[in-house]
Amino acid sequence: MAEHILHITERSLWEAARASGAYEMSTRGRTLQEEGFIHCSLRHQLPTVAAFLYGSYTGPDELVVLVIDPERLGAPLRYEAVTAGGEEFPHIYGPVPPEAVVDVEVWDSGGAAG
Q: In the predicted model, what is the mean pLDDT of residues 9-17?
A: 96
Query: What CATH number is attached to the domain comprising 51?
Result: 3.20.170.20
Taking Cα atoms as reference points, which of 35, 29, 28 lies closest to residue 82? 35
Number of structural domains, the chain?
Answer: 1
Q: SS3 letters for 19-78? A: HHCCECEEECCEEHHHHCCEECECHHHHHHHHHHHHCCCCCCCCEEEEEECHHHCCCCEE
| The pTM of the whole model exceeds 0.85 | yes
Domain extent for 56:
5-106
Tell me whether residue 114 is in a domain: no
Tell me whether residue 112 is in a domain: no
Q: What is the pLDDT of residues 51-83, one digit of tens each?
A: 999 988 888 889 999 999 999 999 999 999 988
